[in-house]
Structure 1
Amino acid sequence: MATAATDTIPLQTGIIYGPVRSRRLGASLGINLLPSDYKLCSFNCLYCQYGWTSKPSLALDGHARNLPRTGDVAAALEDYLQRAARRKTKIDAITFSGNGEPTLHPELADIVAAARVLRDRYLPKVKLAILSNSSTIGRLEVQEALNALDLKLMKFDAGTEDMIRRLNAPAPPFYLGEVVAGLKTLKGVILQSMFVQGRVANTDPDSLEYWLEKVREIRPKLVQIYTLDRPPAEKRLWKVNLPTLQWIAGQVRWRAGVPAEVY
């Protein structure tokens, strides 16, 4: 069993970054709605490629002044898309992600609306996507903003609050039932499920059974199953081997009746 490499990747330093090569999205142009000099997230996942979250929070106390405004994001995106259209830069998706949890931004709905206008103007065939940890999905305004996107890739790594606390370390309050109910409201939701072994493992039979139960309840459009690809924050984590990931995907298809892909 090989250990992961030792260095997490640096934070994104601006609003627009990439395009980066994504296993799930192809050539993905990133939009960072979060501070450029520190990570702002409601989770402190053991496997995060950006390293540890110093203080996981669902609140924006003291952080709002460090976030880009709607006009800043729109201007940066338009500048890039103008050049990309002229140069015929390959872009498969414009993705809200960045240095933490993008749905924490209070102007998310306005930013998504502005991005749709610009996407339609310059690169109408490109998908608008988000990578989210699902922690804010109980908020109606977040649900509405997410449903305006083409691709909603939502984290769902475990089917019990105990395992989620051990693996994802969410900021309180965290209620799994609220997350499941919120995910059920999203049209065409795609679940992203990370499986790891080591200090914490979510591949044991009980963990998989509880997770499958919730996947059946959510009824997503697709489940994307993956393991470590970049160095994690917690160095005592290991990749799950491909046959195990493929077996999990088979269980999703057979027992939950939901399409599943392995990355």
Structure 2
Amino acid sequence: IGRSLSVAIQREHTGKNLNLAEIAFDSASEGIMIMDTNGNIIGINKGFSAITGYSEEETLGVLPLIFQMGKHALWNALSKEGRWSGELTNYRKNGEQYNEWLNITVVKNKDHQTTNYVGVFSDITEIKRSQDKLYDLVNHDPLTGLPNRRLLNELFEQAIKRAQREERLIAVLFIDIDRFKSINDSLGHLAGDKLLYAVSRRIKNTIRDSDVVGRLGGDEFLVIMDSIQSTEHAAEKSQKIIHALQSEFLIDDKELFITVSIGISIFPQDGTNVDSMIKAS
């Protein structure tokens, strides 16, 4: 009788645990998918449907996108460590793209044989958007939308690596609007801001797609010419920019004409970072 009672209590305890696990599975806000040894889905929770828009009937037997991609790093991690995690871009049923953070864990039996994979993922789309907005605020000029000094330094370092690999030069053009203060004083800061924006667009339309234009602040702009073949190329581009900025600007129904001064410095002989290149120009 004592043994029968013990078995009954154990079964009741096991049943309660299973019931709790089922409640947790269905009430989790994260998406959960259970897969067989081939990676095909054999079960999902309500969180999965809420995030993706797919019902259980639509997903059973489906091979998730990450398994279809056959990522070597994924299978290597699952084989060696029994788990994998990473950020993915996926699509909801309505075609909307979203970002997810996915964790996949290997489930094994008592004989250490793989029986299932369990994937748990969170929708991190809003987090990514917030991060992107913060990145833009930190790294871009709010007036023109161009890279600021911080981002220019980062882009210059990347350009250096490419130039060293390809054994080419980098030109930095330092552009300063002549007598900009008098324009600000006579027409007001709002008109001055409109002029700065118009100048930034005109410079951007003059350079190559592979080049970068940024605003250092005030009336100062910087162009990074990536992987040029000669210093003459930089001089020619400077003349094109000067010519492009000589045409009139229509600001608040007023025609404005400006001139600019452009200094040129060349990597590697004139400097190894943005600040030293500006000084050399």
- Give the alignment's TM-score, normalised by structure 1: 0.22
- Bigger helix share: 2
Larger Rg: 2
Of the two structures, which has the highest relative contact order with CA contacts closer than 8 Å and spacing of 6 or more? Answer: 1
- Give the alignment's TM-score, normalised by structure 2: 0.21
